[in-house]
Chains A and B, each alone.
Chain A
Amino acid sequence: MHDNCRFTIMQLLQFTDIGIYCPAGDFYIDPWQPVQKAVITHAHSDHARGGSENYLCHHDSVPILQLRLGAEIHVQGVAYGEKIRMNGVTISLHPAGHVIGSAQIRVEHEGVVWVASGDYKTEYDGISAAFEPVPCQTFITECTFGLPVYNWQPQQVVFDNIRKWVYDNQQVGKTSVLLGYSLGKAQRLLYHLRDISPEIWAHGAIYITNQMLRDNGWDLPELHRITPDTPHSVFKNNLVIGPPSAADTTWMRRFNPYSLGVCSGWMQVRGHMRRRNADAGFILSDHADWHGLLTAVKATGAEKVYTTHGFSSAFARYLQENGIPAEEVKTEYGVTEEEETNPS
Chain B
Amino acid sequence: MKAFADLIKLLSNSTKTNEKLDALSRYFASADPKDSIWVLALFTGRRPKRTVNATQLATWCLQMTDLPGWLFEECYHTVGDLAETIALLLPPGKSIATHPLHFWLEQLLKLEKASEVEKQQFILNAWDELDTSERFVFNKLITGSFRIGVSQKMMVNALATTHAIPAPTLSHMISGNWDPRQITLDELLNEDVTGADASKPFPFYLAYALETAPDVLGVPEEWQAEWKWDGIRGQIINRQGQLFVWSRGEELITEKFPEYGPLLEHLPEGTVIDGEILTYANDFPLPFQTLQTRIGRKNVTKKQLQEAPVVFLSYDLLEWEGKDIRTSPLSERRQLLEQVVERVNHPALRLSPAIIFHNWSALIEFRMQAREMGSEGLMLKKKDSAYQVGRKRGDWWKWKIDPLTIDAVMIYAQKGHGRRSNLYTDYTFAVKDGDQLVSFTKAYSGLTDKEINEVDNWVKRNSIEKFGPVRTVKPELVFEIAFEGIAASNRHKSGVALRFPRISRWRKDKPPEEINTLADLQLLLKMQQ
Binding site for B on A (CB under 8 A): 147-151, 268-275, 277-281, 311, 314, 317-318, 321, 342-344
Q: Which residue in A148, A272, A280 is a CB contact (below 8 Å) of B421? A: A272
Contacts of A311 in B (CB 8 A): 74, 78
Contacts of A317 in B (CB 8 A): 70-71
Contacts of A270 in B (CB 8 A): 12, 81, 84, 136, 421
Q: A149-B88, A281-B13 are in contact. List 8 more A-B contacts (CB 8 A).
A: A269-B79, A269-B422, A273-B13, A274-B12, A280-B13, A318-B68, A318-B71, A344-B457
A321 to B14, CA, bound (A): 41
Q: Ordered nearest first, which 6 A-B pairs have the shortest CB separation?
A: A271-B421, A274-B419, A149-B88, A149-B75, A275-B419, A344-B456
Q: By the criterion CB–CB under 8 Å, are A148 and B65 in contact? A: yes
**Main SS of chain B's interface residues?**
helix
Q: Mark B441-464, 1 if CB is under 8 A from A, else 0.
A: 000000001000100110000000
Chain B, 136-195, CB within 8 A of any chain A CB? 136
Q: By the criterion CB–CB under 8 Å, are A271 and B81 in contact? A: yes
Contacts of B84 in A (CB 8 A): 269-270
Q: By the criterion CB–CB under 8 Å, are A274 and B88 in contact? A: no
Chain B, 289-333, CB within 8 A of any chain A CB? none
Complex A-B: 28 CB contacts under 8 Å: A147-B78, A148-B67, A148-B88, A149-B75, A149-B78, A270-B84, A270-B136, A271-B80, A271-B417, A271-B419, A271-B422, A272-B421, A273-B13, A274-B12, A274-B13, A274-B419, A275-B419, A279-B13, A279-B14, A314-B71, A314-B74, A318-B68, A318-B71, A321-B68, A343-B453, A344-B422, A344-B453, A344-B457
A270 to B88, CA, bound (A): 11
Q: By the criterion CB–CB under 8 Å, are B13 and A278 in contact? A: yes
A81 to B136, CA, bound (A): 45
Say whether B510 faces chain A, with CB atoms less than 8 Å apart.
Answer: no
A344 to B84, CA, bound (A): 21
Looking at the assembled complex, report how far the CB atom of B77 sits from the nearest CB atom of chain A, in whole angstroms.
10
Q: Which residue in B15, B70, B422 is a CB contact (below 8 Å) of A277? A: B15
Say whether B420 faces chain A, with CB atoms less than 8 Å apart.
Answer: yes
Q: Which residue in B75, B136, B422, B449 is a CB contact (below 8 Å) of A342? A: B422
Looking at the assembled complex, report how far the CB atom of A290 sits from the nearest CB atom of chain B, in whole angstroms.
10
Looking at the assembled complex, report how far the CB atom of B102 sits from the nearest CB atom of chain A, in whole angstroms.
24
Say whether B423 faces chain A, with CB atoms less than 8 Å apart.
Answer: yes
Interface centre among B70, B71, B80, B417 (most CB of A within 10 A): B71
A305 to B460, CA, bound (A): 24
Say whether B418 faces chain A, with CB atoms less than 8 Å apart.
Answer: yes
Say whether B85 faces chain A, with CB atoms less than 8 Å apart.
Answer: yes
A272 to B81, CA, bound (A): 12
A151 to B67, CA, bound (A): 15
A151 to B89, CA, bound (A): 9
A279 to B423, CA, bound (A): 21
**Given A277-B15, A279-B13, A149-B423 contact (CB < 8 Å):** no
Chain B, 51-106, CB within 8 A of any chain A CB? 65, 67-68, 70-71, 74-75, 78-81, 84-85, 88-89
Q: Which residue in B74, B421, B456, B457 is a CB contact (below 8 Å) of A147? A: B74
Q: Which residue in B13, B75, B423, B457 is a CB contact (below 8 Å) of A148? A: B75
Looking at the assembled complex, report how far the CB atom of B57 sits from the nearest CB atom of chain A, in whole angstroms.
15
Looking at the assembled complex, report how far the CB atom of B27 sits from the nearest CB atom of chain A, in whole angstroms.
17
A280 to B89, CA, bound (A): 22
A318 to B66, CA, bound (A): 12
Q: Which residue in B70, B89, B420 is a CB contact (below 8 Å) of A271? A: B420
Contacts of A280 in B (CB 8 A): 13
Looking at the assembled complex, report how far the CB atom of B419 sits from the nearest CB atom of chain A, in whole angstroms.
4
Looking at the assembled complex, report how far the CB atom of B417 sits from the nearest CB atom of chain A, in whole angstroms.
7
Q: By the criterion CB–CB under 8 Å, are B453 and A149 in contact? A: no
Q: By the criterion CB–CB under 8 Å, are A149 and B70 in contact? A: no
Looking at the assembled complex, report how far the CB atom of B481 sits from the nearest CB atom of chain A, in whole angstroms.
23
Residue of A nearest to B9 (CB): A270
Interface centre among A150, A281, A311, A344 (most CB of B within 10 A): A344
Interface centre among A148, A277, A280, A321 (most CB of B within 10 A): A148
Contacts of A148 in B (CB 8 A): 65, 67, 71, 75, 88-89
A271 to B78, CA, bound (A): 10
A279 to B136, CA, bound (A): 19
Looking at the assembled complex, report how far the CB atom of A288 sits from the nearest CB atom of chain B, in whole angstroms.
16
Contacts of B136 in A (CB 8 A): 270
Q: Which residue in B13, B65, B421 is a CB contact (below 8 Å) of A269? A: B421
Contacts of A149 in B (CB 8 A): 75, 78-79, 85, 88-89
Q: By the criterion CB–CB under 8 Å, are A271 and B418 in contact? A: yes
A273 to B421, CA, bound (A): 10
Chain B, 387-423, CB within 8 A of any chain A CB? 417-423
Q: By the criterion CB–CB under 8 Å, are A272 and B422 in contact? A: yes
Residue of A nearest to B78 (CB): A147
Contacts of B85 in A (CB 8 A): 149
A344 to B455, CA, bound (A): 9
Contacts of A151 in B (CB 8 A): 88
Q: By the criterion CB–CB under 8 Å, are B423 and A344 in contact? A: yes
Q: By the criterion CB–CB under 8 Å, are B75 and A147 in contact? A: yes
Q: By the criterion CB–CB under 8 Å, are B14 and A271 in contact? A: no
Contacts of B89 in A (CB 8 A): 148-149
Residue of B nearest to A147 (CB): B75
Contacts of A277 in B (CB 8 A): 15
Contacts of A147 in B (CB 8 A): 71, 74-75, 78
Looking at the assembled complex, report how far the CB atom of A153 sits from the nearest CB atom of chain B, in whole angstroms.
9
Contacts of A321 in B (CB 8 A): 68
Looking at the assembled complex, report how far the CB atom of A297 sits from the nearest CB atom of chain B, in whole angstroms.
16
A281 to B68, CA, bound (A): 30
A317 to B68, CA, bound (A): 11
A344 to B70, CA, bound (A): 24
Contacts of A318 in B (CB 8 A): 68, 71
Looking at the assembled complex, report how far the CB atom of A160 sits from the nearest CB atom of chain B, in whole angstroms.
15
A150 to B78, CA, bound (A): 11
Looking at the assembled complex, report how far the CB atom of B213 sits from the nearest CB atom of chain A, in whole angstroms.
36
Contacts of A274 in B (CB 8 A): 12-13, 15, 418-419
Contacts of A344 in B (CB 8 A): 422-423, 453, 456-457
A257 to B482, CA, bound (A): 41
Residue of A nearest to B70 (CB): A317
A150 to B79, CA, bound (A): 10
Contacts of B418 in A (CB 8 A): 271, 274
Contacts of B68 in A (CB 8 A): 318, 321
A343 to B423, CA, bound (A): 10
Q: Mark B1-21, 1 if CB is under 8 A from A, else 0.
A: 000000000001111000000
